[in-house]
Amino acid sequence: MNLQHVDILIIGAGPAGLAAAIAAREDGVDSILVLEREAQPGGILRQCIHNGFGLHRFREELTGPEYAQRDIDRARELGISIECNVTVLSVSPDRVVTCVSPLQGLRRIQAGAVILAMGCRERPRGALCTPGTRCAGIYSAGTAQRFVNLEGFMPGRRVVILGSGDIGLIMARRMTLQGAKVLACVEIMPYSSGLNRNIVQCLQDYDIPLYLSHTVTDIRGRERLESVVVSQVDERRRPVPGTEMVFECDTLLLSVGLIPENELSEGAGVELSPATSGAVVSDTLETSVPGIFACGNVLHVHDLVDHVSDESFRAGHAAAAYVRSERKAERLISVVDGAGVRGCVPQKIHLAPVSPVTLMFRPSGVFRNASVVISSGKKDLLRRKSMIFTPGEMAAYDLKPECFEGLDGSEPITVRIEE
């Protein structure tokens, strides 16, 4: 089998992959190939027909397809090669990518650098261990979104949503606008896992009740879903007897978390973080395997696509520098999660960064009038107060290069929340 060669190969033509490709091409790399398993580029944005995208990056409100089209058009202007209907089977530690497609069959490609931008998938019912029958009418919220927005198919008319992730909240509004009755949104945690703006715009504006500290404890129906039982849970998330509510419905949508698509990363020997389920990366978005980079939702699940693009631009620039051998070997300092912090990215930082380093994390709970403190040993690198931290909204802080002066890497950087 002939071995094709490219400078940079990007897996995924969603917002992350497109942004990384654009950045690398604008940095002067000509040999770039983007592989996409779907029939068209754009990723999940193709089915996100609601607005609210692009406010940070473009300073205007766009729908998902409009946002994606801007990057697709820019990639075409730059002459970037995007191949669709291509499934990547494996990535080796020495950056040999094996893929298959209907047009070209099985082939192997040697890349100077690989950028992983495969996105994430939804957690299925099987991961929840919810008791009840295995009847029709149970969908992930993203699947329902695809049915309604791309396929023109309504999953049902009486709907309960389990989980308050952003996709579930948005589908509560979408199903209502399509004529369905959304009976309730049920969240096992005492707080929502979605953005506050979506709670207001998608639930409160349509009088859809949100039951916090509740979960579905039984699913009833033979061929088709007939009803679900919702119970309150205690502080250990166990159902409280006597609190059961029965909702007669034909559809249950699951919005219970997203999981980075990291099977290819594992196969390449990339170290994964137990906190994010994504790769462990440095401030250049390089993984533990030299020349393999990761960005977007395959790295950690983001709130806003604008932040995905920003991160992926950095990955594209870093990959371009790598293939040109511009990055010198430097010591790395570790970044660890402190009190109140979960899944800080990046997990390692070069001791002499040439530009500000953005640290992103999710709070482990709800904190009011608290401060984020980033320190190394006894030195505070940053201390900033905020009115509220919630797990549903990503926190991001920039560390300027001068913050790292005097650090020798012997003590890690700790990110914590102080009340």
What is the full per-residue pLDDT of the chain (419 aa) written as tens digits? 689 999 999 999 999 999 999 999 999 999 999 999 999 999 999 999 999 999 999 999 999 999 999 999 999 999 999 999 999 999 999 999 999 999 999 999 999 999 999 999 999 888 888 889 899 999 999 999 999 999 999 999 999 999 998 999 999 999 999 999 999 999 999 998 888 889 999 999 999 999 999 999 999 999 999 999 999 999 999 999 999 999 999 999 999 989 999 999 999 999 999 999 999 999 999 999 999 999 999 999 999 999 999 999 999 999 999 999 876 667 899 999 999 999 999 999 998 887 899 999 999 999 999 999 999 988 999 999 999 999 989 999 999 999 998 888 889 999 999 98
Comparing CA positions, the residue from 222, 203, 9 lying closest to residue 96 is 9
CB 387 within 8 A of CB 365: no
- Residue-level pLDDT at 351: 87
Distance of CA 26 to the CA centre of its chain: 25
Closest CA to 12 of 87, 73, 69, 89: 87
